[in-house]
Amino acid sequence: MFAISLGDGGELRPLEPWRAEEFLAHMDRARDLVDEHIRLARLVTDIGSARSLLTSYAEKQAADSARIYGIWLDGTLVGGVLFPKFDAAHGTCEVGCWLEPAGTGRGLVTRAARVLIDWAVGERGIHRVEWLVSSANTPSVRVAQRLGMTRDGVLRENYPYRGVRQDTEIWSVLAPEWREQPRPAR
């Protein structure tokens, strides 16, 4: 197994099915914050659903169509980043994230997403990386901005969630733009 340091006690590691109990405990801590904007908290409610979600990502990773990673802070799982969609043949992918309150305000998601984008662009030849986010999810919008992404547009009221139709912002960065960005010191 590998772990990539994110600095300040943070690590990025694969989030695999054998970590289902740890993932469920984390999701129980994160539920209120995560459920505010994405369905992940509603999908992971018991050990079976936690294992099922992680197994589905393991299968998608084997098919080269998605991947999921956890963010640990001082040894405790506090969030994650993922490729909900990964299409190497067409050179596109989407990056997403979630975080529990104990991990907020430290830049962990930004640094973890940067690792994923570096890998996608540098190793896999991805040309376009997207970040889809509810317009109401200000912290996630700020991550897209810190990553140097461009706001391509808004899909107005395209996504019903918790009884309310949400606007989805589409942010992206193209490989040449990503390569030209200055790299923060680690």
Single-letter amino acid, residue 102 = A
Residue 69: alpha-carbon gap to chain centroid: 8
What are the φ and ψ backbone dihedral angles of 35, each rounded to 5 degrees? -65, -15
Taking the C-alpha atoms of residue 18 and residue 89, their distance in angstroms, rounded to an integer, is 30
Chain centroid offset of residue 106 CA: 15
Over the Cα atoms of the chain, what is R_g?
A: 16
**Residue 1 — pLDDT band, cuts 50, 70, 90?**
low
Burial of 135 (0-12, 13-18, 19+ CB in 10 A): middle
CA pair distance 173, 150, nearest whole angstrom: 6
> Which domains are seen in the chain, by residue range?
4-180 (3.40.630.30)
What are 31-89's pLDDT values in tens digits?
A: 988 888 888 888 999 999 999 999 999 999 999 999 999 999 999 999 999 999 999 99
CA distance 27 to 14: 16
Rounded distance between C-alpha atoms, residue 159 and residue 186, angstroms: 37
**186 pLDDT above the threshold of 80:** no
Cα separation, 61 vs 63, in Å, equals 5
Cβ-proximal residues to 45 (8 Å cutoff; 6+ apart), any chain: none
- Average pLDDT of the segment spanning 166-173: 96
Query: Looking at residue 2, what is its pLDDT?
Result: 85
pTM, full prediction? 0.95
